[in-house]
């Protein structure tokens, strides 16, 4: 909670102007959301409108430091966005942890600001979770976007992930099938071995590429044939291979042991395997793009 007393020089100003000028990290969007929830008091009375303030008014705004610090965090994150590949048709970035692909103050917002003079502002062709880092493709033309979306739909682009997990599976390589239910209200998914009402079939493949028997962890190369929300995280946890650092599907005691607060999951490789006409993107066929997984050095 922040508490401010209006001085004479601010008499008659609008509430939003005063707060935006006096609370570091506050944005207009965040101010509007806080106002809508009636989390602002003036002289002890909750308000939900942007009103004029006067000398001596006591303003209390109930907002967490985490939300106020998000602006600074996002600025730091966007400064570390690395371009891995770019041509006239597509852009491939290494998305950092801690930023959404779409939405307010997202990776797409950053890209649109960077390419604000372009005739077509680059658009994402797929998604990654907020705290999953790695390769993501943006299309720089409408034609490239349509082709890329179709290629992903046809499974003509391989997406490989590195997952640092706790426990070492008995089978070095395996394809596993299950069923996933998405609970939108709880913002999480549930896995079942059997088909149930509301559940969708998922297929996840993994291969052990590095292991450490001493701390009972390994790095998996993971591929998904069905790209459902949180599929890799939830499915691996379900079969006893929780991703280290995953606060939603992992185990807190394991995350604390390895001092990880976000899932160690990296989209490290893209491979273009076009089997249908790809028009102006045909030059990408058989091309592979990779980045280094920062967790490889940990194990």
**Burial grade of 193 (CB within 10 A; 0-12, 13-18, 19 or more):** exposed
Contacts of 22-30 with C-beta under 8 Å, sequence gap 24+, read 23/61, 23/68, 24/68, 25/67, 25/68, 25/69, 25/70, 25/71, 25/72, 26/63, 26/68, 27/71, 29/104, 30/63, 30/67, 30/68
Catalytic residue (one of 129, 221, 246, 295): 129
Element (H, E) at 110: helix 107-114
The closest of 208, 146, 203 to 177, measured between CA atoms, is 203
Per DSSP, the three-state class of 74 is helix
Cβ atoms within 10 A of the Cβ of 6, count?
A: 20
Do residues 253 and 226 make contact, with C-beta atoms less than 8 angstroms apart? no
To the query of whether residue 129 is one of the catalytic residues in this protein, the response is yes
Do residues 249 and 45 make contact, with C-beta atoms less than 8 angstroms apart? no
Between CA 217 and CA 225, with CA 221 as vertex, the angle to 5 degrees is: 130
What phi and psi values does residue 235 have, to the nearest 5 degrees? -70, -45
Do residues 181 and 159 make contact, with C-beta atoms less than 8 angstroms apart? no
Element (H, E) at 70: helix 65-78
Q: Could you give the residue numbers annotated as active site?
A: 129
């Amino acid at each position: 909670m922040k508490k401010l007393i209006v001085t004479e020089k601010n008499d008659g100003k609008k509430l939003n102007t005063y707060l935006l000028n006096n609370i570091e990290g506050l944005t207009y969007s965040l101010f509007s959301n806080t106002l809508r929830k009636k989390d602002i008091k003036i002289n002890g009375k909750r308000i939900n409108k942007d009103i004029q303030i006067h000398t001596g008014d006591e303003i209390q705004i109930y907002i967490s430091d985490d939300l106020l610090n998000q602006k600074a965090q996002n600025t730091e994150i966007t400064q570390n966005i690395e371009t891995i590949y770019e041509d006239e048709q597509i852009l491939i970035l290494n998305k950092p942890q801690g930023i959404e692909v779409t939405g307010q103050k997202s990776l797409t917002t950053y890209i649109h600001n960077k390419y604000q003079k372009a005739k077509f502002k680059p658009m994402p062709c797929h998604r990654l979770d907020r705290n999953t880092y790695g390769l993501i493709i943006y299309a720089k033309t409408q034609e490239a976007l349509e082709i890329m979306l179709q290629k992903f739909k046809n499974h003509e682009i391989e997406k490989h992930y590195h997952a640092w997990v706790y426990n070492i599976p008995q089978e070095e390589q395996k394809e596993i099938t299950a069923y996933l239910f998405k609970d939108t209200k709880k913002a999480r998914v549930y896995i079942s071995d059997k088909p149930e009402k509301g559940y969708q079939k998922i297929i996840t493949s993994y291969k052990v590429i590095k292991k450490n028997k001493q701390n009972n962890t390994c790095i998996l190369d993971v591929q998904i044939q069905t790209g459902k929300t949180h599929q890799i995280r939830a499915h691996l946890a379900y079969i006893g291979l929780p991703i280290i650092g995953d606060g939603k599907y992992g185990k807190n005691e394991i995350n604390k042991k390895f001092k990880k607060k976000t899932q160690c999951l990296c989209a490290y490789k893209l491979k273009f395997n076009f089997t249908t006409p790809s028009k102006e993107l045909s030059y990408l066929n058989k091309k592979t793009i990779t980045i280094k997984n920062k967790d490889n050095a940990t194990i």
